[in-house]
């Protein structure tokens, strides 16, 4: 059995399908347009559209949309990110056609009834207020705002209260006309089907949709001056993010950056930040590092939440760990363990077929190809300690570091 199958419909829509065992199946459409496609006056519009897509189509009312998958025990969902929007569903495998047809209807036939889209503004504004009550979440978005200053990547996905209130149906229609293009989409499926059946369903429900226009060309963010910002907040804890620009998703340095980030403060309890700060001193319960790769840039960030009296000590220890990686190459044994751990993480992730479906679709959307698991493992295995050392000196260089603190 092939790891996945890729084919293209006559209208140009790319489809990727992975056969998996079990009674559950998953599918979704992924659009190469998110927050960074918004104009200055459209902050939050991509997310607003994601919400309002479900408010009615030319043949369904909103409650028909919501119950179409729910009524057979499945789940219909969507999300908006900085670079993509996705509508997806999970269901018993016999309902593939129901899910495919519904997603096609939502994507291409939504009518955005004026009354319904006005009501949804209150929902999103409440979401904005809720997020602002959670400093541990807000600090990530504020950090990106400063890091990508005056670039759409720095905009909050939710937008602002003022921008959301300003949206009209014409703004939705204009954004969709610019970005909801067949050339800008990939449909992904994971389930226990024959390829011929998958092709039949896709051709039946998607092949007749035609869109005109070409995807917009993205402009990479410029490198801004570094910053060290302290904001006063009403919180029992202090929160801090330390970080910098990192390799993009297309960079040859990406694999080394992933390994380095996992070693420093990734998901494992054996990361350096966890062992050398959290476990050794007990200064911080929440302490980790993150690497986010966008199509033409990326960011690295260490987040910590700690009692105010431990803030300076904890941040000093974080800088100490970054310095160690800049000054001392990791040993062959440490590199071997880091590779084993990352390969294990990837293998376990393959058990979540919904996540696999989304990951395959995103890869095809961004690179017009998907690497096999063997090629991914091979790329990890050939990464050297010198590559990690060079990345550490590039990304963790102290004069490149930015910080944002809520205290």
* 245/188 same-domain check: no
Q: 301 forms bridges with which residues in the sheet?
A: 243, 290
Domain residues for the domain of 398 are 228-406
* 90/151 same-domain check: yes
Q: How far apart are the C-alpha atoms of 4 and 150, rounded to whole Å?
A: 40
Domain membership of residue 223 (yes or no) is: no
Domain membership of residue 279 (yes or no) is: yes
> Contact 365/294 with Cβ under 8 angstroms?
no
Torsion of CA 195, 198, 200, 206, to 10 degrees: -140
Closest Cα partner for 351 from 190, 195, 186, 198? Answer: 190
CATH number where 301 lies:
3.30.830.10
> Contact 242/289 with Cβ under 8 angstroms?
no
68-83: pLDDT as tens digits:
999 999 999 999 999 9
86-130: pLDDT as tens digits:
999 999 999 999 999 999 999 999 999 999 999 999 999 999 999
* 246/174 same-domain check: no
Helices 332-349 and 385-395 cross at an angle (nearest 10°) of 80
150-206: pLDDT as tens digits:
999 999 999 999 999 999 999 999 999 999 999 999 999 999 999 999 999 999 999
If residue 289 lies in a helix (H) or strand (E), which one and from where to where? strand 284-293
> Contact 262/271 with Cβ under 8 angstroms?
yes
> Contact 201/207 with Cβ under 8 angstroms?
no
* 142/196 same-domain check: yes
* 41/178 same-domain check: yes
Residue 285 confidence (pLDDT): 87
The encoded tokens of residue 136 equal: 């541990």
Confidence of residue 2 (pLDDT cuts 50, 70, 90): low
> Contact 402/143 with Cβ under 8 angstroms?
yes
> Contact 122/55 with Cβ under 8 angstroms?
no
* 299/369 same-domain check: yes
Q: Residue 223 gets which letter from DSSP? A: P
Which whole number is the average pLDDT over 398-404?
96
* 142/173 same-domain check: yes
Q: How far apart are the C-alpha atoms of 35 and 319, rounded to whole Å?
A: 32
Domain membership of residue 215 (yes or no) is: no
Res 236 pLDDT > 90? no
If residue 18 lies in a helix (H) or strand (E), which one and from where to where? strand 14-19
* 401/299 same-domain check: yes
Q: Is 64 helix (H, G, I), strand (E, B) or coil?
A: helix
Domain membership of residue 40 (yes or no) is: yes
* 260/188 same-domain check: no
Domain membership of residue 220 (yes or no) is: no
Residue 71: alpha-carbon gap to chain centroid: 29
* 27/172 same-domain check: yes
* 252/158 same-domain check: no
Domain membership of residue 222 (yes or no) is: no
Domain membership of residue 219 (yes or no) is: no
* 157/30 same-domain check: yes
262-298: pLDDT as tens digits:
999 999 899 999 999 999 999 998 999 999 999 999 9
- Judged on CB neighbours under 10 Å (0-12, 13-18, 19+), 331 is exposed
Q: Is 219 helix (H, G, I), strand (E, B) or coil?
A: coil
Domain membership of residue 186 (yes or no) is: yes
Res 1 pLDDT > 70? no
- The Cα-based distances of 386 to 90, 156, 215, 245, 392 in angstroms read 43, 36, 39, 20, 10
Residue 90 confidence (pLDDT): 98
Which residues, 6 or more positions from 13, have their beta carbon under 8 angstroms from its beta carbon?
182, 185, 186, 187, 202, 206, 207, 209
190-220: pLDDT as tens digits:
999 999 999 999 999 999 999 999 999 999 9
Which whole number is the average pLDDT over 4-15?
97
Q: How far apart are the C-alpha atoms of 399 and 232, rounded to whole Å?
A: 24
pTM given for the model: 0.94
Q: How many domains does the chain have?
A: 2
Which whole number is the average pLDDT over 297-318?
96
Residue with the two structure tokens 């941040």:
315
């Amino acid at each position: 059995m092939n790891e996945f199958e890729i084919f293209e419909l006559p209208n140009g829509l790319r489809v990727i399908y992975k056969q998996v065992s079990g009674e559950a199946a998953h599918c979704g459409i992924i659009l190469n347009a998110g927050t960074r496609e918004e104009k200055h006056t459209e902050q939050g519009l991509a997310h607003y559209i994601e919400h309002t897509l479900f408010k009615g189509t030319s043949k369904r009312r909103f409650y028909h949309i919501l119950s179409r998958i729910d009524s057979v025990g499945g789940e219909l969902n969507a999300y908006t990110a900085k670079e993509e929007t996705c509508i997806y569903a999970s269901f018993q495998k016999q309902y593939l056609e129901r899910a495919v047809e519904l997603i096609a209807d939502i994507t291409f036939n939504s009518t955005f009834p004026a009354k319904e889209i006005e009501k949804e503004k209150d929902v999103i504004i409440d979401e904005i207020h809720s997020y602002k009550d959670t400093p541990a979440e807000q600090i990530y978005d504020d950090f990106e705002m400063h890091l990508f200053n005056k670039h759409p990547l720095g905009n909050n996905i939710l937008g602002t209260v003022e921008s959301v209130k300003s949206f009209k149906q014409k703004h939705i229609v204009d954004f969709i006309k610019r970005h909801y293009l067949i050339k800008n989409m990939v449909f992904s499926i994971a389930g226990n089907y024959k390829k011929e059946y998958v092709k039949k369903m896709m051709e039946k429900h998607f092949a007749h949709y035609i869109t005109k226009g070409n995807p917009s060309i993205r402009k990479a963010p410029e490198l801004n001056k570094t910053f060290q910002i302290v904001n006063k907040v009403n919180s029992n804890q202090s929160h801090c993010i330390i970080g910098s620009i990192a390799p993009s998703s297309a960079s040859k340095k990406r694999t080394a950056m992933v390994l380095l980030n996992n070693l420093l403060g990734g998901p494992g309890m054996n990361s350096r930040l966890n062992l050398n700060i959290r476990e050794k001193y007990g200064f911080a319960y929440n302490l980790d590092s993150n690497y986010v790769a966008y199509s033409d840039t990326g960011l690295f960030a260490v987040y910590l939440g700690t009692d105010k009296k431990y803030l300076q000590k904890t941040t000093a220890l974080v800088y100490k760990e970054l310095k160690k990686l800049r000054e001392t190459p990791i040993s062959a044994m440490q590199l071997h363990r880091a590779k084993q751990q990352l390969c294990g993480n990837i293998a376990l992730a393959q058990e979540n077929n919904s996540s696999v479906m989304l990951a395959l679709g995103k890869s095809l959307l961004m690179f017009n190809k998907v690497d096999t698991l063997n090629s991914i493992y091979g790329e990890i295995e050939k990464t050297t300690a010198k590559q990690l050392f060079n990345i550490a000196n590039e990304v963790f260089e102290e004069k490149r570091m930015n910080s944002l603190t809520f205290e």
